[in-house]
Amino acid sequence: MTSKAVIAIHGGAGTIVRASMAPDAEARYHAELRAVLAAAQRVLADGGSALDAVTQAVRLLEDCPLFNAGHGAVFTSAGTHELDASIMDGRTLQAGAVSCVKRVRNPIVAARHVLEYSEHVMFTADGAEAFAQAQGLEFVDPSYFHTDARYRQWQLAREQQRAMLDHDGATLAAQTPAAQARDDALPHEPIDPNRKFGTVGAVAVDLYGHVAAATSTGGITNKQLGRVGDAPLIGAGCYADDATCAVSTTGSGEMFMRMVAAYDVAAQMAYRGVSLEEAANDVVMNRLPRIDGRGGLIAVDAQGNVVLPFNTEGMYRGYARVGEAPVTAIYR
């Protein structure tokens, strides 16, 4: 037994709207992050696996409308939702992922089932839904994923004719005079929702020194149908290996894919022999910015070290060691 057990989570990275830092919105994010950390911490304290802890954390983040995953996911250019998720077990290097699912309530649970019960690693679209259905997973009407805040973000993005990162969209919507005049204006969020990547993720080390990672997202606002980002790609948005680390990313997915960002952290540790901190910082602060990659990641190693670097102004994040109070943060 070790006391290195720890869970870390993120809820997206982006630009902080200094003018609109409303204390109650900030408090709400902290409270949600703390609640998720506490639940996952209990899984670890009870002797549960890192894999179970990250599944639990991401499932709760998917159910929370504040984050761009599951309920609260961003809209595609067609006004629909296409969800991506992935999970990896550092003990066995088993992995599971789904992309472009539209009716599975918790994409991370579908990814977990792919890991556990399929000889394959990833299912997409109709095939992913057929697999989830055969596994008896919970399905919802697509309207379940609708939230008014994301809908307004999407309308703004359409007006601007571009695809928007989730947390890049919310603030923009909140800031228009028309929106501010309305009662239903987006709450002023600490991180500019119009300049934020709202993907969620979790990494953990369990009491037995095994690591796991999970990532889930709605992608980016106004994305083209069928667009798949880094989140469901093992190696880009998610990676775990007991020998090195577990990583979950958030940011401009195309750049994280091109950098194979999550795996690069593990590879640098393995091949360059550097620490978790040095490897993660190199990817986020040096390598991604070379191709204009914006965002961050969370990572743990089997020794219980935790890093949460990001190259944006803020990232919703937190960690909780077993037996200690959860720590949450938004800004630098």
Residue 252 marked ligand-binding: yes
Of residues 63-92, those binding ligand ASP (CB under 6 A): 68
DSSP string, 83-120: EEEEEEETTT--EEEEEEESSBS-HHHHHHHHHHH-SS
Q: Name 321's Cβ contacts closer than 8 Å, sequence gap at least 6.
A: 3, 5, 6, 41, 304
> Does residue 326 belong to the site contacting ligand ASP (CB under 6 A)?
no
Smaller CB separation from ligand ASP, 202 or 220 = 220
The two tokens of residue 122 are: 């990833």
Of residues 101-160, those binding ligand ASP (CB under 6 A): none
- In the list 166, 168, 264, 313, the residue contacting ligand ASP (rule: CB under 6 A) is 166
| E strands in the chain | 6-16, 83-89, 95-101, 122-124, 191-197, 200-205, 211-217, 238-240, 246-251, 295-300, 306-307, 314-321, 327-331
**Cβ neighbours of 282 (radius 10 Å):** 17
Smaller CB separation from ligand ASP, 211 or 315 = 315
- In the list 70, 193, 209, 229, the residue contacting ligand ASP (rule: CB under 6 A) is 229
> Does residue 219 belong to the site contacting ligand ASP (CB under 6 A)?
yes
Nearest CA-CA partner of 244 in 215, 216, 277, 214: 277
Smaller CB separation from ligand ASP, 68 or 76 = 68
Strand partners, 211: 205
Token pair 């998917």 is found at 62
Smaller CB separation from ligand ASP, 166 or 313 = 166
Residue 80 marked ligand-binding: no
> Does residue 319 belong to the site contacting ligand ASP (CB under 6 A)?
no
CB 59 within 8 A of CB 22: no
> Does residue 235 belong to the site contacting ligand ASP (CB under 6 A)?
no
State whether residue 57 is helix, strand or coil.
Answer: helix
- In the list 199, 216, 221, 328, the residue contacting ligand ASP (rule: CB under 6 A) is 199
Size of the site for ligand ASP (CB under 6 A): 17
Task: Give least dist CB 22 to ligand ASP, A.
Answer: 22
> Does residue 253 belong to the site contacting ligand ASP (CB under 6 A)?
yes
CB 99 within 8 A of CB 253: no
Q: Is the dihedral of CA 306, 89, 86, 230 positive or negative?
A: positive
Task: Give least dist CB 2 to ligand ASP, A.
Answer: 31
Taking contact as CB under 6 A, which single stretch among the options 59-67, 248-256, 267-275, 296-304 is the one that binds ligand ASP? 248-256
> Does residue 198 belong to the site contacting ligand ASP (CB under 6 A)?
yes
Smaller CB separation from ligand ASP, 96 or 219 = 219
Q: Is the dihedral of CA 270, 272, 275, 278 positive or negative?
A: negative
> Does residue 230 belong to the site contacting ligand ASP (CB under 6 A)?
yes
Smaller CB separation from ligand ASP, 43 or 220 = 220
State whether residue 73 is helix, strand or coil.
Answer: coil
CB 217 within 8 A of CB 200: yes
Residue 250 marked ligand-binding: yes
List residues forming the annotated binding site: 227-230, 250-253
List residues forming the annotated binding site for substrate: 227-230, 250-253
Give the footprint of ligand ASP on this chain (CB under 6 A).
12, 68, 165-166, 197-199, 217, 219-220, 229-231, 250-251, 253, 295
